[in-house]
């Protein structure tokens, strides 16, 4: 990697030597997996989205790789908040790496309960509240109910004084972009992470004439190549609408340096890699770093700030 080209970035007061992170949900369920990410070229790690108590998640088969990515309906299997909070407290800032603690309650009350525990803890890093899990049977996504988002944030910021990011579902309409931005701009949100999986996709196996995963009759969240255009649209549209103090993490369809370049061009401060990280493991961070550096070198960019958010439109 060229020493005069920097992949460093920042969210709030938190500095990342590399803008690449894992996405919550893949290869990050155990402390061993999280340690591997912290030992890699990634700028830090994101924990599995925690619920107050451990969960086994949905029945298998609950994930299926496809030619364009994957479909999954995992149902938030995780070791519980205490497990990940203990790891986050012990590893935040170690060797200059950041730990992002991801939480995803099954109700608004559970989210508030976990935020209170985090507020009372010694953890001083970034917390990521998932308002977009599409794979809990019988539950709708809070992120699509803008008044519910306002209620959650009103409750949370009445006591939560640590930096808080929000993982959001994909939005598909300009009215939705306007609506969620109007809510978020009223609160001291540190960052947003867009997008989570595109919910309720369906993959069919024509040989067996069957769906490919068991939960929810085969419906599940899509990740990978399917979602990159939607992810880029969300990064771009929300960067244009949010206060500049609210940073953006771009997530969706990233498997190369070119994909990262596009996310940053649309306005992303950091990126998270999910599906491709699941396929390739931690070596993906070194490879993509080299690919992004080569693109920046070819274009004459030395820092991400030089092209972040500077996507051109056609007159």
Q: Is 49 annotated as a binding residue?
A: yes
Q: Which residues are catalytic?
A: 133
Q: Is 76 annotated as a binding residue?
A: yes
Contact 285, 18 (CB under 8 A): yes
Q: Is 95 annotated as a binding residue?
A: no
| Residues 6 or more apart in contact with residue 297 via CB below 8 angstroms | 2, 5
Q: Is 197 annotated as a binding residue?
A: yes
Q: Is 48 annotated as a binding residue?
A: yes
Through-space distance between the first and last CA atoms of the chain, rounded to whole angstroms: 36
Measured in degrees and rounded to the nearest 5, phi and psi for residue 303 equal: -135, 160
Q: Is 130 annotated as a binding residue?
A: yes
Tell me the CA distances in angstroms from 271 to 77, 148, 193, one per residue in order.
Answer: 23, 27, 9
Q: Please, what is the Cα angle at 12 between 34 and 92, to 5 degrees?
A: 30
Would you call 56 exposed, middle or buried from its count of C-beta atoms within 10 A (0-12, 13-18, 19+)?
Answer: exposed
Q: Is 43 annotated as a binding residue?
A: no
Q: CA–CA separation, 195 vs 252, rounded Å?
A: 6
Q: Is 275 annotated as a binding residue?
A: yes
Instruction: Give the residue ranges of the annotated binding site.
Output: 48-49, 72-76, 130, 167, 195-197, 224, 252-253, 274-275
Instruction: Give the residue ranges of the annotated binding site for FMN.
Output: 48-49, 130, 167, 195, 224, 252-253, 274-275
Instruction: Give the residue ranges of the annotated binding site for substrate.
Output: 48, 72-76, 130, 196-197
């Amino acid at each position: 990697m060229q020493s005069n080209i920097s992949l460093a970035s920042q969210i709030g007061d938190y500095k990342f030597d590399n803008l690449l992170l894992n996405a919550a949900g893949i290869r990050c369920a155990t402390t061993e997996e999280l340690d591997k990410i912290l030992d890699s070229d990634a700028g830090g790690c994101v924990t599995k989205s925690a619920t107050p108590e451990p969960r086994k998640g949905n029945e298998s088969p609950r994930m299926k790789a496809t030619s364009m990515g994957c479909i999954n309906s995992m149902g938030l299997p995780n070791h519980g908040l205490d497990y990940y909070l203990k790891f986050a407290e012990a590893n935040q800032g170690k060797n200059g790496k950041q730990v992002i603690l991801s939480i995803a309650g099954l109700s608004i009350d559970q989210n508030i309960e976990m935020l209170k525990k985090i507020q009372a803890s010694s953890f001083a890093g970034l917390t990521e509240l998932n308002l977009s899990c599409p794979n809990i049977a019988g539950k709708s996504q809070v992120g699509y109910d803008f008044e519910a988002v306002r209620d959650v944030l009103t409750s949370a910021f009445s006591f939560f004084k640590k930096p808080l990011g929000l993982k959001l579902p994909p939005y598909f309409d300009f009215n939705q972009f306007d609506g969620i931005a109007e809510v978020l701009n009223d609160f001291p949100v540190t960052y947003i992470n867009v997008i989570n999986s595109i919910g309720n996709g369906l993959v069919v196996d024509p040989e067996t004439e069957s769906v490919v995963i068991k939960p929810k009759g085969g419906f599940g969240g899509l990740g990978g190549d399917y979602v990159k255009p939607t992810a880029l649209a969300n990064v771009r549209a929300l960067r244009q609408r949010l206060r500049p103090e609210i940073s953006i993490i771009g997530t969706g369809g990233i498997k190369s340096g070119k994909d990262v370049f596009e996310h940053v061009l649309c306005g992303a401060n950091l990126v998270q890699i999910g599906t491709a990280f699941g396929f390739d493991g931690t070596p993906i961070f070194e490879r993509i770093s080299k690919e992004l550096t080569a693109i920046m070198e070819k274009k004459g960019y030395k820092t991400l700030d030089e092209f972040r958010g500077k996507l051109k439109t056609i007159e």
